[in-house]
Structures are given as structure tokens and as C-alpha cells.
Amino acid sequence: MKRSVIAAFAAATVAAAICGCGQSKPKLHLYNWSDYIDPEIVKEFEQQFNCKVVTDTFDLNESMFAKLKAGATGYDIVFPSSYMVELMRDQGFIQEIDVSRIPNLANIDHDYDSVIADPTFHYSVPYMMSNAGIAYNEELCKDFEPTWRVFGDKRYARSCTLLNDMRETLGAALKTLGYSLNTTNEAEVAQAADLVIEWSKNIAKFDNELYKNGIANGHFVLVHGYNGDLGQVIEENDNIVYALPKEGVSIACDEMVILSGAKELDLAYAFINFVHDPEIAARNMEYTCYLCPNRPAYEFLPEEVRKDESIFIPAEIREKSETIRDLGDFNAIYVKAWDRVKASQ
Ligand code: N2P
């Protein structure tokens, strides 16, 4: 049987199992980052599996987890970054994955095993790789240098933004100082907080959402943000350029996990398998401008995406980059440092 025939047969079987005659369509509930999936792909999934996909969005790992911890229920699949997968697993929020139900796991690109939470997929399946860098408007920043220190440059006072994200922004400062963004040295974290406080006096705001429109419409001239979100902006505005700071960046994998209380397990497995179909994964990459670590999908990508260094990061930057990890009890030191940043505003 050809792959598409097998997929259609599997879809029909799952759809028949989950939707008897006369019943309303089952609903798969996703809790995902914003602008992180091609809506056409969601529609196709709904049609093939005769269901409705309901999506809520978040813009910060910590606020997503705080909402779940506060008792939010009803989600089937959530998309945390790898370090948050570790915390969610340890605190019993996610269920073990039955890998036999996701045949497309065979497509995962194991070149990224050091970034993802678990290359054996016991609790999570990689969705997209992202990195956080700097986008700037080349009309307004003529001699831009790719360094995090640009956030202290007085020429850009009140017209730049930093992510409102403890680990990303303290991480950028740690890289600038030559430290690991996963350091467990309290003095290094304190120095990074001092540097962020210095930058904070120069920036317009800490922000995770509005920076996209802000740089697109010229309100901000440079912003700290995620490569794909900024890639989406670049498609609309030729003056925007994405740069990877020379000190190194954070590389994340955002993963799919099934919550312990998930109600639509059949659909959840079908969805995870669906987004790892190589053709679907390639279309999703083209739309979101992020990298789905799915090796056969790369062949379906147009050349300009395959050559895009904001998606496929060059080796010399990758070597200097790191993945944010859960630091256990030491997380509290980062929280304390970030509180100090916020209190200084
Ligand atoms: C999507 C942002 C995803 C990147 N808007 C966070 N790792």
C-alpha cells in the first residue's frame, strides 16, 4: 500500500472509532505557542479525522505550566520546550507515550538528539526547533553588529525590545558575559541580571508578542525574538533582517506531550503522527519558518528554506549555542535574579 493510502485507511479507522452515528464531532484540544502551525494543516487534519481541533495559545513556558498547575484541564496535547517537559514529567502532568502508535517517529532527525528532551520519545515527541536571536530594520540600523550588546546601544534607546522570558533574556546576558546559559554559579547569574538591568534602561519594553508587529510596522528598530516568528515578519517586510549574535544563542526544541488527563487519546496520537508526515512537516516548516526535525521532510522544502541559516543554523554558531535545561532547585536563583530585574523597572 502506498503511504497516502495507508494514511487514509488509518484516518478512516480512527475516525470511525471515535465518532459514532448521530454524535457531534470529537474535539482535540491543543495548547500551543502562538503562530506555530499552518492553519491549513489543522483543517486537513479535521477533515481527515472528522473532528474539530480547538487551540489555546501561550507565549511563555512558565505561564503555560502555571496555568496547568492552577488546575486548567481539558487539553490533550501541549507544546512545552524540552526543559519544561522534564519538569512536567517529574511533576506527573504528562503521560507515557505509546511509540507504537506513531509510526512517523521513524522520520525524526536524530542529529538533534542533544537538544530534545528524550530521543526515545517516552514522554515527548519533538515538534519544532527554534532559536532566539535579534531582528533589525536595516534601513534604521545601518552598521548593525550581531552582538547582544546592541541592547545597550543608546542609538536605539526606547526602540528595541527584549523577550519577557527569564531564561531567554538572562540566557542572552550570560552568553554575552561568556558564561553558560545553564550556569549554576550564583555570582554569574547575578552579573547577568545586572547586565539585563542595564539593558532594560535602554529598551522600550520586555515583550513576547507585540514585537512582531512592532518591528514590522517600524515602531521598533530591533527586537529579541524567535527565528520563525521573525521569519514570518521578514516575508512581509524586506527591510527586516534576522541575525544570530556572535556570542551564541539558545536553541530550543518545542515538543508535543500528552497530558495525564487527556480525553481524546486516539486523536492525540493521530495528530502527532500527522504532523510528522514528511510532506505535512515540510509545509508546516514553510509556513512557520521553524525547523521540524523530520529528515525526509527536508527533501520537500524549497531551496530557499533549506539554505535559510536562521532555520538551519551554521555550525560555527551552533557550536557556541546551548539548549536551556531544567536546573532543579537552582531554578530558584534564576527566579530571584529575574525578580530583581523586574523590581528595578
Ligand atoms: C512560536 C514561538 C516558539 C518558540 N511563536 C519558543 N521556543
Query: Where along the chain do its domains lie?
Result: 5-129+252-306, 130-250+313-343
Q: Which of 32, 33, 59, 224 to mutate to test the pocket of ligand 1 (most atoms within 8 A of CB)?
A: 33
* CB 254 near ligand 1, within 6 Å: yes
Compute the mean pLDDT over every residue in the chain, rounded to the nearest whole number.
Answer: 93
* CB 229 near ligand 1, within 6 Å: yes
Same fold, 5-129+252-306 and 130-250+313-343: yes
Residue with the bigger pLDDT between 4 and 88: it is 88
Work out the pLDDT band at 261, boundaries 50, 70, 90. very high
Q: What are phi and psi of 258, to 5 degrees?
A: -100, 125
Percent of the chain clearing pLDDT 90 (strictly above): 91
Q: What is the pLDDT of residues 132-152, one digit of tens each?
A: 999 999 999 989 999 999 999
Q: What is the pLDDT of residues 54-64, one digit of tens each?
A: 999 999 999 99
The mean pLDDT of 124-137, rounded to a whole number, is: 98
- Distance between Cα 126 and ligand 1 center (Å): 13
Residue 231, Ramachandran bin (φ over 0: left; ψ between -120 and 50: alpha; else beta): alpha
Work out the pLDDT band at 23, boundaries 50, 70, 90. confident
* CB 34 near ligand 1, within 6 Å: yes
Which of the listed CATH numbers 3.60.20.10, 3.40.190.10, 1.10.510.10, 3.40.50.300 matches domain 5-129+252-306?
A: 3.40.190.10
User: What does the pLDDT read at residue 6?
Assistant: 43
User: What does the pLDDT read at residue 334?
Assistant: 98
Q: Are 196 and 173 in contact (CB under 8 A)?
A: yes
- For residue 285, give the amino acid letter: M
Q: What is the pLDDT of residues 144-190, one digit of tens each?
A: 999 999 999 999 999 999 999 999 999 999 999 999 999 999 999 99
* CB 252 near ligand 1, within 6 Å: yes
User: What does the pLDDT read at residue 14?
Assistant: 54
CA-nearest residue, atom 2 of ligand 1? 33
User: What does the pLDDT read at residue 107?
Assistant: 98
Q: Which three cell numbers stand for residue 325?
A: 535545561
- Distance between Cα 36 and ligand 1 center (Å): 7
* CB 36 near ligand 1, within 6 Å: yes
* CB 226 near ligand 1, within 6 Å: yes
CB-neighbour burial class of residue 300 (10 A; exposed 0-12, middle 13-18, buried 19+): middle
Closest CA to 117 of 142, 90, 145: 90
The architecture of the domain spanning 130-250+313-343 is: 3-Layer(aba) Sandwich (3.40)
- Centroid of chain to Cα 256: 11
